[in-house]
Structure 1
Amino acid sequence: MYRLIADAAMVVHFLFLAYLTLGGFLALRWPRAIWAHLAVAGWGVMSIVTGVECPLTLVEDWGRRQAGLAGLTPSGFIDHYIEGVIYPEEHTNLVRLGVASLVVGSWFGYLWRRRHRDFSRA
């Protein structure tokens, strides 16, 4: 059961990161989604700036340890599954810049579409 909890937390965490990266583009289709994406992006920025640990990381680490498995690395989810696995650790800032560019680009797209839609109604 603990392994299932840990695995579920890991899957939700990956989905969260996917939504953080690309979720703003959903607002192009469903404008109200922008509010959820703003909250997720805010959490992402806050966790990077302050170093606050994500609750999903805590749940996964707890589940893994309770199941008798090794816990996550001391630095957490990103270091365990992504840095050094998907991209080299020395490219972290470049990856963060890429994610931030996607997020901000999606927001500009949302604002452009919203403004265009508002003008087309007039």
Structure 2
Amino acid sequence: MPYRVLMTAVLVAHFAFLAYVVLGGFLTWRWPRAIWFHLAAVVWGVLVVAASLECPLTWAEDWARRRAGEAPLAGGFIDTYVENVIYPPQYLHEVRALCALVVLASWAGGYAAWRRRRQVRR
């Protein structure tokens, strides 16, 4: 039972991290220094996808699943919970491009907000 709870907690943390990677740049509109945390999260997300690195959250979920008597994830977090659940696999490249556009738009808006604040202070 406690491993199932841990499994669920890691799953929620994984979805929260994924949401932060895509949407976290909008926090920079209010808190410009948040860009550094978001930049680190985006770099990690890109590395996990591009270099096929194993995410520590996926490792933790697999560990908890094994302890709970369940099979580890077939593939990874994205393959299991996102792709073919939230979007069809044939749109993988379009979804990735859309996520990149959202991140870049959030950064551009954060930069614009930062510039406005600097001009107001002068």
TM-score, length of structure 1 as denominator length: 0.95
Amino acid at match of 1:40: A
User: Which residue pairs with 1:83 in the alignment?
Assistant: 83
Residues 68-92 of structure 1 show CA distances to partners (whole Å, capped at 9, x for unaligned) of 112211x200000010111101111
Structure 2 gap ranges (5+): none
For 2:121 and 2:88, the matched residues in 1 are separated by 48
Measure the CA separation in 1 of the matches of 2:42 and 2:73.
23
Q: Distance in 2 between matches of 1:48 and 1:68?
A: 28
| Alpha-carbon distance in 1 for matches of 2:72, 2:52 | 19
Q: TM-score, normalised by structure 2?
A: 0.95
Give distance in 2, aligned partners of 1:46 and 1:25.
21
* Identical-residue share of aligned pairs (%): 51
Q: Does 1:68 align with 2:64?
A: no
Give the Cα separation in 2 of the matches to 1:30 and 1:117.
11
Q: 1:14 maps to which residue? A: 15
Alignment gaps of 5+ in structure 1: none
For the aligned residues, what is the CA RMSD?
A: 0.9
Report the count of equivalent residues: 121
Moved over 2 A (4+): none
Aligned to 2:118: 118
Deviation at 1:17, TM superposition (A): 0.5
1:41 positional shift: 0.5
The answer as to 2:5 corresponding to 1:4 is yes
